[in-house]
Chain A
């Protein structure tokens, strides 16, 4: 397992390396320069010269690439405040090692261990957040936006919030939908679900987003006088002064529409996929066995059918992360959501290489990481899978 993960990581790094070179080239051949904006202003000639040197745009392409690459992989600052972070780190490593050397021959142990390891690492990072100041040296934005690291990670939180909500929505709605459709195959509900999925699947996301925005944020208020959702933004002005409950309400009212826009296509996808997976399981021999044992229908469906039908979803969800990020890129601009997608579009329009590169690489890393996580998760969930 460990060797497998290491091997996957090595492949991942190679993939990312190739990706970075590819993207760098595409950005170069895409035409335009970050300084084009200034170019037609006769008063800007000396400014352009200064900036050209500053950004290294006068260097040959391969040198620009390696300059970028060496910056990208080098650490800008890494400051640990106080011993507690180190002590915490030590204990977390020890606890992880301990968990992995403990042998308990019970079926619940493997998932529980995986969960435990994730939980202690997450809480450690949570704790360490305020004590560690970490940044990579990803250079400065060509637009004058400041350090790319700060830009990308400043926006990452918003995209994370949006993406996780969309993903949760897709899972919470899509999976049960598929399951119920499969259980009631060919029923009216199933047929409506299939048609709905098809429509949701084939509607471009910007139409979904704009439609939701106009209908639920604008016409709803117009018709009912009830302002339920907002057209744009992540928070209301004066959010900080609101009470805890009002803040949560405000977040929901801003988050619901963009998250739903992104989620809709995933809901449709998951429902269709889950339906197929569930049907396959429902017709399987071991489900017949389960029934013949006299188990209640609920147990048969949930414990035996669903548990198996959920396995392949892990892969689908991992692959879909790319789709959700793609959806966020489009949706964030429409809903004025301050995330990475919006940053990305801004960077593209300004031919802001360092920002474009950083975002593509972060997404790439996220996908490589998610794939590895999915493989591990699959191994934990499906006893038949073993990685060598």
Chain B
């Protein structure tokens, strides 16, 4: 979102105004759009595995024997502002809603920012088959039981109970509330206790890990106009802070919850801070300037290399910059549906040797050097981006090898009976990295003798129409991955032969009914996907996931390229306890541990 005033949309809107109202504005380019498919619930958490080999600066949160001092305010800046505070209504799925929400919400699970492991929050332990929290019943259903912490209470002193869980479920399932009901809709029965909550799912699935990440207080919310009453204010808090004030367009202030139930490991009552202010500043440049001027303490700017360099200069003055590999992974892909011929009548995507040739054609190292200033390694598998320990690196078999690529191309030509092979590459034109990528591809493809053409489109068109209609030949964009088994199973939706768009999200149309590739592999993947969604035992899930990864790599359905960086900066000389979390938990995941060094 750098340089808003230069964005195309603004320019276009300016046309409207100038056109009719004689107002002024400037035009230009540059805009970044990320497509997301991540599990949607804002405070979702998932099984985690340590991310890539980024240099992670570890800090000691509870250091000196006396422990951190109490009091003070920390200012967090963000370029987005929540449309609403209510995560369960339209607009509530914005990331910033949960960034702020981390300060007053609580749920079953959260992601540890140091280990990226899933840890319990409101419950005594996360339910699994081995601890008896998850039971697969004989009738093919699955029962999950949460035991709520005794001390867990709302900020008004009311204990958090099973009723609140039931109320949360009812709210999600209320057809008036336009939020995703995925998995929740499979709950067939529930059982409510004062400090426990049990539910039964119609079929075994590991997706239960996602559920109940954000609990709603029944006693406060019941009887209110749910859709309208909680946009500008928040119900009683289960987290370290209480919503205090929202100056629209400016900031949200949260203040200490004196009744917070959680204590630090050293026994300190949490939180340390008196208040946290979230300031909303649309311009990235202004965020950086405000940070430099110490008007804000914590920022999470887009990881442009100039930004990172600029911030790293401040480290001498006491700032700390964390650059991590994030869960957004970019990939090159092929369209298998009939509409690709609209883009390129000569498309050869159905030919495996051609696709393998493409995999050998691209130089990922060069791409990473050019686009990410070599800050990370390219991906050998999409699994690497968010669950590296489960990754087999299946795409490592395709090294950068133009000779090999040319051999494979010859094979492909022979099989297809063509003299030459052409390709048309499409991606979003208002993303600088992708434009750069298209230029690199041009050189690489031409070098092996593929007739190459770029047809980039504005993101609105590309994501709005092209993708859904399957009207591209060779494409490139990003997905957001979530750590853990459930995240990995979730991502399999995009390869589901039974899920063509618009209902499903197999935009590649690999194996879908109108696809040009329908074979044993596509059939097997459909089977695997069905099995994945009915299995909860990790010992059975992992081999299935690995088989899927192998098929996708061997068949070159997609080619993972690299994971985008995420970055955060903090004035570490005045704010302690901060640790960036690249997952959907966000950088405020441990806000209760933050403290000021200067109080």
Instruction: List A residues at the B interface (Cβ < 8 Å).
Output: 19, 22-23, 26-27, 30-33, 36, 38-47, 50-51, 54, 141-146, 151, 154-155, 158, 204-206, 210, 213-214, 217-218, 221, 230-235, 237, 319, 322-323, 325-327, 329-330, 333-339, 342-346, 348-349, 351, 356, 360, 363-364, 367
A40 pairs with B505, CB closer than 8 A: yes
B161 CB to closest chain A CB (Å) equals 28
B89 pairs with A31, CB closer than 8 A: no
Interface majority SS (helix, strand, loop, mixed), chain A? helix
**Other A-B pairs, 11, CB within 8 Å; known A47-B90, A155-B248, A237-B73:** A41-B37, A43-B40, A54-B178, A237-B277, A333-B4, A336-B280, A336-B283, A336-B286, A338-B250, A344-B13, A364-B21
Q: Is B56 an interface residue (CB 8 A)?
A: no
Q: Is B64 an interface residue (CB 8 A)?
A: no
Instruction: List, in ascending order, chain B residues with CB within 8 A of A50's CB.
Output: 175, 178
Interface residue count for B (Cβ, 8 Å)?
81
B493 pairs with A42, CB closer than 8 A: yes
Q: Is B293 an interface residue (CB 8 A)?
A: yes
B92 pairs with A144, CB closer than 8 A: yes
| Cα–Cα distance between A32 and B462 once the two chains are bound (Å) | 10
B279 pairs with A46, CB closer than 8 A: no
Instruction: List, in ascending order, chain A residues with CB within 8 A of B91's CB.
Output: 141, 143-145
Q: Give which listed residue, A235, A333, A345, contacts B247 with CB less than 8 A.
A: A235
B21 pairs with A363, CB closer than 8 A: yes
Instruction: List, in ascending order, chain A residues with CB within 8 A of B279's CB.
Output: 232-233, 336
Instruction: List, in ascending order, chain B residues with CB within 8 A of A19's CB.
Output: 20-21
Interface hit among B22-30, B265-273, B376-384: B22-30
| Cα–Cα distance between A205 and B23 once the two chains are bound (Å) | 13
B12 pairs with A30, CB closer than 8 A: yes
Contact sample, A vs B, 15 pairs, CB 8 Å cutoff: A30-B9, A39-B463, A41-B36, A41-B38, A43-B182, A45-B503, A146-B231, A221-B293, A319-B22, A322-B22, A326-B24, A335-B286, A345-B4, A360-B16, A364-B20
| Cα–Cα distance between A155 and B247 once the two chains are bound (Å) | 10
A213 pairs with B289, CB closer than 8 A: yes
| Cα–Cα distance between A32 and B7 once the two chains are bound (Å) | 15
B10 pairs with A51, CB closer than 8 A: no
Contact with A along B492-504 (1 / 0, CB 8 A): 0110000100111
Instruction: List, in ascending order, chain A residues with CB within 8 A of B463's CB.
Output: 36, 39-40
Instruction: List, in ascending order, chain A residues with CB within 8 A of B277's CB.
Output: 237
Instruction: List, in ascending order, chain B residues with CB within 8 A of A205's CB.
Output: 24, 26
Instruction: List, in ascending order, chain B residues with CB within 8 A of A206's CB.
Output: 5, 26
Instruction: List, in ascending order, chain B residues with CB within 8 A of A333's CB.
Output: 4-5, 282-283, 286
B13 CB to closest chain A CB (Å) equals 5
A47 pairs with B179, CB closer than 8 A: yes
Q: Given contacts A336-B280, A344-B13, are A231 and B36 in contact (CB under 8 A)?
A: no
Instruction: List, in ascending order, chain B residues with CB within 8 A of A218's CB.
Output: 289, 292-293
Q: Is B303 an interface residue (CB 8 A)?
A: no
B202 CB to closest chain A CB (Å) equals 17
Q: Given contacts A346-B81, A364-B21, are A338 and B249 in contact (CB under 8 A)?
A: yes
B250 pairs with A235, CB closer than 8 A: yes
Q: Give which listed residue, A231, A233, A234, A336, contacts B282 with CB less than 8 A.
A: A336
The 6 residue pairs across chains A and B that have the minimum distance between CB atoms: A144-B91, A338-B249, A32-B460, A326-B23, A326-B24, A336-B281
A226 CB to closest chain B CB (Å) equals 12
Instruction: List, in ascending order, chain A residues with CB within 8 A of B250's CB.
Output: 233-235, 336, 338
Instruction: List, in ascending order, chain B residues with CB within 8 A of A339's CB.
Output: 249
Of chain B, the residue at the smallest CB distance from A46 is: B181
| Cα–Cα distance between A338 and B247 once the two chains are bound (Å) | 8
Of chain A, the residue at the smallest CB distance from B248 is: A154
Instruction: List, in ascending order, chain A residues with CB within 8 A of B248's CB.
Output: 151, 154-155, 338
Q: Which of B1-19 touch A at CB < 8 Å? A: 1, 4-5, 7, 9-10, 12-17, 19
B567 CB to closest chain A CB (Å) equals 20
B249 pairs with A204, CB closer than 8 A: no
Q: Is B464 an interface residue (CB 8 A)?
A: yes
Q: Taking each of B37, B81, B286, B287, which has the highest tally of chain A beta carbons within 10 Å of its own beta carbon?
A: B286
Q: Is B39 an interface residue (CB 8 A)?
A: yes
Instruction: List, in ascending order, chain B residues with CB within 8 A of A42's CB.
Output: 37, 493-494, 499, 504-505
| Cα–Cα distance between A213 and B250 once the two chains are bound (Å) | 17
B46 CB to closest chain A CB (Å) equals 13
B9 pairs with A144, CB closer than 8 A: no
A237 pairs with B253, CB closer than 8 A: yes
A330 pairs with B26, CB closer than 8 A: yes
| Cα–Cα distance between A30 and B19 once the two chains are bound (Å) | 14
A22 pairs with B93, CB closer than 8 A: no
Of chain A, the residue at the smallest CB distance from B15 is: A26
A343 pairs with B249, CB closer than 8 A: yes
| Cα–Cα distance between A50 and B17 once the two chains are bound (Å) | 32
B9 pairs with A327, CB closer than 8 A: no
| Cα–Cα distance between A142 and B282 once the two chains are bound (Å) | 19
Instruction: List, in ascending order, chain B residues with CB within 8 A of A36's CB.
Output: 460, 463-464
A334 pairs with B283, CB closer than 8 A: yes
Q: Given contacts A334-B286, A345-B282, are A326 and B40 in contact (CB under 8 A)?
A: no
Of chain B, the residue at the smallest CB distance from A340 is: B249
A31 pairs with B458, CB closer than 8 A: yes
Q: Is B285 an interface residue (CB 8 A)?
A: yes
Of chain B, the residue at the smallest CB distance from A155 is: B249
Instruction: List, in ascending order, chain A residues with CB within 8 A of B89's CB.
Output: 144
B24 pairs with A327, CB closer than 8 A: yes
Instruction: List, in ascending order, chain B residues with CB within 8 A of A348's CB.
Output: 9-10, 12-13
Q: Is B536 an interface residue (CB 8 A)?
A: no
Of chain B, the residue at the smallest CB distance from A337 is: B249
A40 pairs with B249, CB closer than 8 A: no
| Cα–Cα distance between A327 and B9 once the two chains are bound (Å) | 17
Q: Given contacts A146-B231, A338-B247, are A363 and B4 in contact (CB under 8 A)?
A: no
Q: Is B121 an interface residue (CB 8 A)?
A: no
Of chain B, the residue at the smallest CB distance from A143 is: B83
| Cα–Cα distance between A343 and B178 once the two chains are bound (Å) | 24
Contact with A along B286-309 (1 / 0, CB 8 A): 110110110110000000000000
B23 pairs with A325, CB closer than 8 A: yes
Of chain B, the residue at the smallest CB distance from A32 is: B460
Instruction: List, in ascending order, chain B residues with CB within 8 A of A344's CB.
Output: 13
A232 pairs with B180, CB closer than 8 A: no
Instruction: List, in ascending order, chain A residues with CB within 8 A of B13's CB.
Output: 30, 344, 348, 356
B37 CB to closest chain A CB (Å) equals 5
Q: Is B35 an interface residue (CB 8 A)?
A: yes
Q: Is B468 an interface residue (CB 8 A)?
A: yes
A101 CB to closest chain B CB (Å) equals 37
| Cα–Cα distance between A39 and B466 once the two chains are bound (Å) | 13
Instruction: List, in ascending order, chain A residues with CB within 8 A of B92's CB.
Output: 144
Q: Is B566 an interface residue (CB 8 A)?
A: no
Q: Is B467 an interface residue (CB 8 A)?
A: yes
Q: Is B232 an interface residue (CB 8 A)?
A: yes
Contact with A along B344-367 (1 / 0, CB 8 A): 000000000000000000000000
Q: Is B75 an interface residue (CB 8 A)?
A: yes
Q: Is B84 an interface residue (CB 8 A)?
A: yes
B286 pairs with A231, CB closer than 8 A: yes
Q: Give which listed residue, B19, B75, B178, B464, contacts A237 with CB less than 8 A.
A: B75
Q: Is B451 an interface residue (CB 8 A)?
A: no
Instruction: List, in ascending order, chain B residues with CB within 8 A of A32's CB.
Output: 460, 464
B17 pairs with A144, CB closer than 8 A: no
A342 pairs with B22, CB closer than 8 A: no
B224 CB to closest chain A CB (Å) equals 15
